[in-house]
């Protein structure tokens, strides 16, 4: 089953959720504002995607906290501050994609 990881406030996540509902694609939504990802889920994301793909350098949190001027471990900061994740994250069967991609969403949802 397709997993969508994000927050309800994120417009891109809302597009992914709406696209799944319109196409009757089965999905599971994980709201990062309600629950944290487990260590296993983080490891799966780090194996599937590069750190740079997961980090949202345009997020208000990234800019406000001055991350552009810091040296930091991306994986550690993502675990501590999921606000830095590029959402939505689409996951299915060990594969993952950061950001909204309608074609990929439909392809994965149909499989």
The answer to the question of residue 44 being in a domain is yes
Number of domains in the chain: 1
Q: pLDDT of 17-64, one tens digit each?
A: 999 999 999 999 999 999 999 999 999 999 999 999 999 999 999 999
Q: In the prediction, which pLDDT does 109 show?
A: 79
Cβ atoms of 18 and 27 within 8 Å: the answer is: no
C-alpha 108/C-alpha 29 separation (Å) is: 15
Contacts of 104 (CB under 8 A, 6+ apart): 90, 97
Is the separation of the CB atoms in 37 and 5 below 8 Å?
A: yes
Residue 98: which CATH number?
A: 3.40.30.10
What tokens does 102 get? 């309608």
Find the domain containing 100 and state its range.
Answer: 2-55+86-110
Q: What is the pLDDT of residue 94?
A: 85
Return the pLDDT at 110.
77
Is residue 14 included in any domain, yes or no?
Answer: yes
Q: For residue 99, is it within any domain?
A: yes
Per-residue model confidence as pLDDT tens digits over 59-108: 999 999 999 999 999 999 999 999 999 999 999 988 999 999 999 998 88
- pTM of the entire predicted model: 0.92
């Amino acid at each position: 089953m397709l997993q969508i990881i994000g927050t309800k406030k994120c417009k891109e996540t809302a597009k992914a959720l709406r696209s799944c509902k319109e196409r009757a694609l089965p999905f599971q939504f994980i709201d990062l504002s309600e629950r944290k990802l487990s260590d296993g889920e983080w490891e799966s994301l780090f194996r599937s995607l590069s750190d740079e793909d997961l980090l949202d350098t345009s997020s208000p949190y990234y800019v406000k906290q001055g991350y552009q001027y810091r040296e930091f471990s991306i994986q550690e900061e993502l675990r501590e501050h999921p606000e830095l994740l590029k959402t939505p994250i689409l996951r299915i069967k060990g594969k993952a994609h950061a950001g909204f991609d309608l074609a990929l969403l439909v392809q994965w949802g149909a499989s």
